[in-house]
A and B are shown apart, each in its own frame.
Chain A
Amino acid sequence: MPDDRISLRQLLTLTFAALLSPAIQVLPGLTARRAGVGGWLATLAALPVLLGLCWVLCRLFRSGLPETAVETLGPAAGRGLCLLYLVWGVWLLAANTRQVALRFLTISYRNSPMLLFLLALLGVTFWLVRKPVRALARAGEVFFLTLTVGLVLSLGLGAFQVDLVNLLPVWVEDLSAIGWATLPVLGLLGYVVFAACLGGNVVPEQEGGRRVLRWAAGLCLTLTALQTVCLGNFGPGLAGRMDTPFFMMVKGIGFEGTFQRIESVIIALWVLSDLALLSLLACACSQLARTAFALKERRHAVLPVVLAAAAGAIWLFPDAFALDRALEGPVLWGGIGMGLGIPLLLALVKVCTGKK
């Protein structure tokens, strides 16, 4: 769409803001459970994979994932791939919406407001994604700015309470465990492929590739800092038992007598990250739907996607335990497969057909 151009920087900030939402669910809980004190190195270990993935996505999906799939695999197989990603995306959207709505219940004893949170989030997502993509990108930038301030504040104050005994020593014998702990991080990175679906809207830039790689490094460093502070505060055993170690850490920071116990503000701030994630997923799904069903405009596909996600969020997961199991199992492996495996395969196919 000629008048719906966004810049690479906007897409990257939107993705960063969106990734912060699942990041605090996965890190450092899952990594601590698998690797103990070495868990915080898992994100650093995942850095080469992320760099490779970003390089592939940058080269491959200049015009967006749906168009590239159709180009490389032909119309039938390409549309089929888009459909596959669409189903995966809607399922992820449903799971994440429910997870986010449940998260806000952690400060309340009752369960009934969950429906309200769910519908409110999906309502705002629907409104945002119906606007042109550049509005989503601008909103994403503002969300990113706000989240950065919150994150820097929390991590900065939390760093004062880090106990090094919880983080070290890490020695050679931990390396295999760290490798095993990298898997949740890779599952998390599986969301990046949805940003590639918006690649068609991005104005091509000269230094684009380098900028993406710098962004990937920044993301890894931020996630490592997050893990370090959370693990350092609690230690691997305790962190593994908590639902969201980051929010538990925020519960404890503050200056006595000036401000303390501000975890409600940080939890509320994370709603912006959730909105960024949900709108990124919804926007990518509507792009995929447009290609898969050959619709004229992206806007027509938004309502069905959001309704499907709402239905899935309300009925697919009967309780929080099923949701947790889903997030730690299928989402993780699906993320690795769909987010890393298939783009690599697509790249291979493109290279092969290109050589012919």
Chain B
Amino acid sequence: MPSNRENGQTHPHPRREPRYPGPITLARLEEIFRDCVDFVRRTVWVGEDPRRALTLCYLSGMVKMERISDYLLRPMAQDPELARCAGAAPMMERMRQGALYNLAVEERDSLDQVVFDLVGGWCVFLFPGESTVLSCFVGTEEKRSVSAPDSETVLKGAKDAFVESVRTNTSIVRRHLKAPELRIQEQIVGRQSATLVDILYIEGITNPHLVEQVAARLREIDIDGVFSTGAIEEYIVPAARTPFPLVQYTQRSDRFCAGLAQGRVGVLIDGIPLGYLAPAVLGNFLQAPQDKSSSWLLATALTILRYFCMFTTLLLPALYTAMVTFHQEMIPTRLALSIIAAKQNVPFRSAFEVIVLLIAFEILQEAGLRLPQSIGQTVSIIGGLVVGSAAVEAKIVSPAVLIVVAVAGIAGYTMPSQELGGALRIWRFVLVLLSSWAGLFGTVMGAAVLIVHLAGIESFGVPYLTPFAVGTGVHSREHVLLRRPMPRIKDRPGALKPRNRRKQR
């Protein structure tokens, strides 16, 4: 991978600075890569002259054989000018300046850099008697091809999703956002993984303080390696304080670029096929990417439905428990009589029934995630039969509770964001507990605590409740409940404090 010093790349900071001290010698390299069967070294005669012998080192599997052969070994063997060089230094200079056909040829003087180059897919030429070496990039390009996103269904829109290679991802972004003002800063995160993390933003639109905040938080990360998304997610936001998601991720490149154009900052991580957008507030998590592709009336109706589902999944089990145990007058008389008849021989209390069924629901969900497709269907049948019919007929649970829990669970699945759905599931339990102790007073106190909790959270300085509780001096609201026709939304969201408010004529 060509490294470009102008883009602000920093080398990883080892515990010992430098990680590998000392001069660059073959013996040293062999010692560092001992017990590595893919470390290969060979001698190359330049111009077939045994007096001009170089040592070539590389890690097999990381390099592409054809590149070394075609772009490096062939000119070294066939170039007459090279063969006529008077010493190692002029030969190195000639090779660096174009005698080798490779695109990236660098001179390295620190052992650290050489070692990481080797791991990165570069090959290294050691010159006899020289303290510096030449390093050429010949890495393989093995990566997944760009295909449709598998976790987000795209009905109507671009199907080029992000892949594991960060450079390919930035190229996909550039294809959607051809503005030259798109800036891509890079950092290296993780001592053992040395993962490349890119920060993308559009200069002139994005608030520079926001960019600086994101970059600073990434710089502070000092971990072993980035092996899961949580390694970055939980560090750039104060995730320990809340189960609600504070950054939004997406596999779709068009959604990512739309976010960048709004004035948000994007983060791409090498090895993870997701793009992150910050800041992310509650309104973002309740908008589905399909909304901008359907008619605005339909989108509005669906958004309202989603908000209704959010309240249902959070409050329905708690409301049922409160109504059945404390406020029986709220239930319509006929329904109350049928509930009484249905619960006649059920041995458990209503609150306990609700909690047990909620737990059973979670178990079914968790089991469904682990199973392969073929067994999954069997489990769902067993779950439906056992929990559903048998339990009701054996009068272990009453049918009303089953319906309530099932409706609440299904409503939770309409959330466009899995993290938000997860946070709501946790709070659902809390609210059911509170309502079983104190009825509707408990439920409302729980809801109030939730509101106060959300009111205190900010995602990179933007209040989490942004569409409903905007801060100072912010007026325009885009797509809260009503998705206005796109020609009417003239400004970018004010909460992000973009440099350029107006986005269309």
Contacts and interface: CB of A to CB of B under 8 A. Distances in A.
A137 B469 CA distance: 8
A265 B330 contact: yes
Contact of A6 (B326, B439, B456, B472): B472
Top 3 A-B pairs, shortest CB-CB distance: A138-B469, A268-B440, A138-B455
B445 interface: yes
B239 interface: no
Interface of A: 5-7, 10, 104, 107, 113, 116-117, 120-121, 124, 127-128, 131-132, 134-139, 141-143, 145, 203, 205, 257, 259-262, 264-265, 267-269, 271-272, 275
B146 interface: no
A271 B463 contact: no
Given A107-B327, A135-B456, A271 B451 contact: no
Contacts of A139: 451-452, 455, 469
Contacts of A134: 463, 471
Nearest to B327: A264
Interface of B: 326-327, 329-330, 332, 438-441, 443-445, 448-449, 451-452, 454-456, 463, 465, 468-474
Contact of A104 (B332, B441, B449, B456): B441
Contacts of B326: 264
B463 A138 contact: yes
A272 B456 contact: no
Contact of B445 (A10, A124, A131, A143): A124
B469 A141 contact: yes
Contacts of B454: 142
18 contacts: A7-B471, A124-B445, A131-B452, A135-B452, A136-B455, A138-B465, A138-B471, A139-B451, A139-B452, A142-B451, A142-B454, A203-B472, A203-B473, A264-B326, A265-B330, A268-B443, A269-B444, A271-B444
A223 B4 CA distance: 67
- Which of A5, A113, A116, A128 neighbours the largest number of chain B CB atoms within 10 Å of its CB? A128
A104 B473 CA distance: 38
A113 B438 contact: yes
Nearest to A279: B452
A104 B441 CA distance: 8
A135 B445 CA distance: 17
B473 A131 contact: no
Contacts of A138: 455, 463, 465, 469, 471
Nearest to B475: A9
A116 B442 CA distance: 10
A145 B468 contact: yes
Given A116-B438, A117-B441, A271 B456 contact: no
Contacts of A257: 332
Contacts of B441: 104, 117, 120, 268, 271
Contacts of A135: 452, 455-456
Contacts of B332: 257, 259-260
A248 to B, nearest CB: 14
A264 B463 contact: no
A276 B469 CA distance: 15
A247 to B, nearest CB: 13
A142 B449 CA distance: 12
A261 B329 contact: yes
